[in-house]
Amino acid sequence: MNMIEEAARKIESMEVRGAARIARFAAETLKEYAKSVKTNFDEEMRRASERLMNTRPTAVSLFNAINYVMSYSGESDEEKRESLIKRAEEFIEWVDTAREKIGRIGAKRIMDGSTVMTHCNSSAALSVIKHAFDEGKDIRVIATESRPRHQGYLTTKELADYGIDVTLIVDSAVRYFMKEVDVVVVGADTITVNGALINKIGTSQIALAAKEARVPFMVAAETYKFSPKTLLGELVVIEERDAREVIDGELLDHPKVTVRNPAFDVTPRDYIDLIITEIGAIPPEMAYIVIRDHLGYREFGGEEITLSPEHYD
């Protein structure tokens, strides 16, 4: 199995998961692959990038990462390789520095003595929580289990190992516990042009319960999680995963039973107080500006939507 196929399967099986991690991993993989390509550079890289792109359809971070890396330039294969490697390294640094900045900005919104609820396992959301803790704030976290893949266990362990008190709850207990919560912080797989959030299934129910209880709902999202394609009218595809992630046993084979397993849901912008990005804390209504002015794209209407390198300054 070649390097690309192996990487693609790791993303599909969620051995490598999380919107930021899959984007970083794709950039890293393309960089390594580029080093090994001997001939037909453009064609080889195009095929590799397509395979990686088709692994998980919802997180736009993957699309943005691949597009960024694949916007290499140069005449000879050697020049192209160099350009691609440089772009991959830029993207990887973008991932690493953005998370840190988001942590610093978002932590200011978490008050001393707060109970913070989070869902799934988001490196950006956890950066906010850890920064607040590092600032000496006395905080407690309520983490959802995040069925069916239980990423909440990762969150619980990570935060507890960091020294933070964590209460793990089942997803259906979110509304029951909301009265104890001061702020919700979640991550993002995609932010659309109209400021909607696509994140782990169950996020929109948390937002609903938070709104009812007047608890602020914050999203931690790097700008590469904003979707340029939605500016062109495209809808975000919600990934439906194998039913066997939800149950095993005889119910699966029952002719009258269907098991559905959408991995993500949509939270409309009206439920979101703030999106914490590396360029600042913004209202969801600003998503259009982030996509148009910050991410940038070369061509409208055509197939090509390319992130501009200017973001990087």
Ligand X SMILES: O=P(O)(O)OC[C@H]1O[C@H](OP(=O)(O)O)[C@H](O)[C@@H]1O
Instruction: Verify binding: residue 229, ligand X, rule CB under 6 A.
Output: no
Over the window 118 to 147, marking each residue x when it contacts ligand X by CB under 6 A and - when it does not, the resulting string is --x-xxx-----------------------
3-class DSSP state for residue 194? coil
Instruction: Verify binding: residue 223, ligand X, rule CB under 6 A.
Output: no
Q: Is the dihedral of CA 49, 52, 57, 61 positive or negative?
A: negative
Q: Of 8, 18, 30, 159, which one interacts with ligand X (CB under 6 A)?
A: 18
Q: Is 175 annotated as a binding residue?
A: no
Structure tokens at 120: 């799934």
Over the window 29 to 48, marking each residue x when it contacts ligand X by CB under 6 A and - when it does not, the resulting string is --------------------
> Which DSSP symbol is given to 15?
S
How far is the C-alpha of 103 from the C-alpha of 156, rounded, in Å?
18
Instruction: Verify binding: residue 70, ligand X, rule CB under 6 A.
Output: no
Instruction: Verify binding: residue 204, ligand X, rule CB under 6 A.
Output: no
3-class DSSP state for residue 175? helix
Order of strands, edge to edge, in the sheet holding 197-200?
A: 190-191, 197-200, 264-267
Over the window 168 to 187, marking each residue x when it contacts ligand X by CB under 6 A and - when it does not, the resulting string is ------------------xx
Q: Of 4, 20, 70, 307, which one interacts with ligand X (CB under 6 A)?
A: 20
Instruction: Verify binding: residue 189, ligand X, rule CB under 6 A.
Output: yes
Q: Is 104 annotated as a binding residue?
A: no
3-state helix, strand, coil in the chain (%, to 5): 50, 15, 35
Q: Which residues are catalytic?
A: 120, 189
